Amino acid sequence: MSNDPILLGKALTSFDALWSPRIVTRVNDYDVRIAKVEGEHVWHVHDDTDEFFLVLDGELHISLREPSGERTVLLPQGAVFTVPRGTEHRPYAPSGASILMFEPSGTSTVGDRHDDIPDHVDATTGHALDS
């Protein structure tokens, strides 16, 4: 990890892969990840951790399957949302977005339980940010 300030805009220009987060820093045992996203992710669940989203650019939709039924939250640029642990969810960005996520180091991008993983989704615990 860098001991220098990280400009998120510059970091986002350092890669093109979609649904393939880069770890920009760590806070205690948590990764701060950025990603470019477009289209649909996969329905998945994180059994033991919440998942925090901040939309840096564009618009992100997150579909949720909750005991009360299915709903979708819309996150415009600048919005934050936390998916509670154990909640099945599917992020998607019809027109593309750049996002920041905050979750425990080692958390898989496709969770603990998920549907089949499409080729455009990177099943990872995050990649190092190239300098």
* Whether pLDDT at 76 is above 60: yes
Q: Which tops the pLDDT comparison, 98 or 120? A: 98
Please state whether the predicted TM-score (pTM) of the whole model is above 0.85: yes
* Domain coordinates in residue numbering, the chain: 8-117
Percent of the chain at pLDDT > 70 equals: 95
Query: CATH class for domain 8-117?
Result: mainly beta
CA distance 125 to 111: 10
**CA contacts within 13 A on the Cβ side of 124:** 17
Q: In the prediction, which pLDDT does 1 show?
A: 64
Query: pLDDT tier at 119 (50, 70, 90 boundaries)?
Result: confident
* 120 confidence band (pLDDT: 50, 70, 90): confident
Q: What is the pLDDT of residues 25-46, one digit of tens each?
A: 999 999 999 999 999 999 999 9
pLDDT of residue 123: 73
Separation between Cα atoms, residue 118 and residue 115, nearest integer Å: 9
Instruction: Return d(Cα 127, Cα 20) in angstroms, integer.
Output: 8
* Mean predicted lDDT score pLDDT of the chain: 91
The reported pLDDT for the residue numbered 126 is 83
The predicted structure's pLDDT at residue 30: 95
Quick one: CA dihedral 94, 99, 103, 106, positive or negative? positive
